Structure 1
Amino acid sequence: MSIVYLVRHGQASFGRSDYDKLSPLGEEQARMTGAALAGCGVKPALLVTGSLQRQRVTGSRMWEEAGWEAPVDIDEGWNEYDHDAIVYTHKPAYTNQAVMQADLARRGNPRRAFQEMFVEATGRWTSGEHDDYDETFAQFADRVMLALGRVTSRLSSGQDAVVVSSGGPISWVASHLLTSSPKERAVSSAGAAGVSDAAVAVWLNLSATTVNASVTKILVGRTLTALTVNDHSHLQGREGYVTYR
């Protein structure tokens, strides 16, 4: 048996021009996660991150804190989906930021209005009824499971891996494993399973509540099993350290 630890990146710079940059808190969350995993005796044979800056820097801070020196791979399969593309495909006029801000302001509470609109946009994307996306939801789901397959294929029995990704991909792995049959969870079928309504429903909930620097633990045997999902106990007890954006 092997374990794949899926870690969401630390807090990024939400609301700023360069969202992809970790905040100072995000860097500290990453260090705390590395220390917590090392303290539990985790000694990965493989380290993987997506190619986004917030993922790579989270990984770097974790490795440093944990003292891990395993090979590091950069795999774009673990990148987050394009939030902007989801919004703009749903509301083409919002490619003009001034139009979007004015429209949201007219609703009285711009933050709430944006969240409601984003839920609608994500629902359109996940419905599978539209193909006007550069990456459909089904393609996103396959991309993520194929990335997981590339990790598991490199692990010998007893070896572990730590992967730094984002809320969307990690939530999809968990949602798929929690709602699929043993046959669909077989290691040999990674990337081949379809997108079920049940998995999408779970994904919509998980992706909205995945904590920064949380850990989702996947057991790798003949099948893949989600042992823990969104564990952030290492961040609790310190005020302000549990964040979602």
Structure 2
Amino acid sequence: MVEITLVRHGQAQTGATDEHSYDKLSDLGHQQAQWLGDYFAETGRSFDHVISGTLNRQRDTAGVIAGALSLETRQDARLNELDYFGLSQSLKETHALDIPTDRASFVAHVPQVLSAWQAGDIHDHLEGFDAFQGRIEAMISEAEALGGRVMMVTSGGVIGMTMRLLLQLEVNAYANVLLNIMNTSVHRFVKTGDSLALAMFNGVPHLEAKDRVGARTYI
């Protein structure tokens, strides 16, 4: 049996303009992670492997969830997020594309960034689109090889790329998927025959209670 569960990290520091400032869970982000860990514990769902990226927001989210389940975690940098701030700065310098300051402008910005990135219209020192796609593909293969129930705590761009790879999405569809991924949302693939089939997308069962509506965040 192979079951791969991807979890997006909890809310980080909204309003940040660089990766260093962004890469820390907010108080709500910690709470979201705790609620998800408690939900898994209460419903009897456990995992054979828990892997996170090495970014603070990913590692800390995984630690809270795994703590609720009395599980160990390990880190793998291949689960780290795409360099959105670097890509945005590159396009600002080369294409005069303004960096977004609110969600509305962010929604318009992401497809432009991903399209330019795929086309190679970015600074050479940044990770290329194909390289990013390749490391996510490698992590999917590793999770399959591990077998059992594998949880990978990562970020929206990684989850969106996983959807792109396994569902054969074009880059605009990839952007649409990425934009709708909530903090601490759950995404699950189950191996059926030789293929991984999507079993859950953007699930937030731990945030369904009426008093947690305000805790459903995207950024």
Q: TM-score, normalised by structure 1?
A: 0.77
Equivalent of 2:62 in 34, 55, 59: 59
- Report matched runs for 1:14-163 at 5 Å: 14-16=14-16, 18-65=21-68, 67-69=69-71, 71-92=72-93, 111=102, 112-113=104-105, 116-126=108-118, 128-130=119-121, 132-133=123-124, 134-155=126-147, 159-163=148-152
Which residue does 2:9 correspond to in 1? 9
Change (3 A) 1:2 1:13: same
1:167-187 CA-partner distances (Å, limit 9, x unpaired): 0101111232223xxxxxxxx
Q: Distance in 1 between matches of 2:160 and 2:30?
A: 22
Q: Distance in 2 between matches of 1:202 and 1:113?
A: 18
> Contact 2:110/2:175 (CA < 8 Å) preserved in 1?
no
Larger Rg: 1
* Structure 2: stretches of 5+ with no match in the other structure: none
Equivalent residue pairs, number? 211
Q: Percent identity?
A: 28
> Contact 1:7/1:216 (CA < 8 Å) preserved in 2?
yes
1:108-142 CA-partner distances (Å, limit 9, x unpaired): x953556544542332113x253644222122111
* Structure 1: stretches of 5+ with no match in the other structure: 180-197
Q: TM-score, normalised by structure 2?
A: 0.86
By percentage of residues, which structure has more helix?
A: 2
Change (3 A) 1:76 1:110: closer
CA positional deviation for 1:161? 1.3
RMSD: 2.5
- Report matched runs for 1:159-178 at 5 Å: 159-178=148-167
Equivalent of 1:239 in 208, 213, 216: 213
Equivalent of 1:212 in 179, 183, 202: 183
After TM superposition, the runs of 4+ consecutive aligned structure 1 residues lying more than 6 A away are none
1:55-89 CA-partner distances (Å, limit 9, x unpaired): 00001111122x232x4220111100001221122
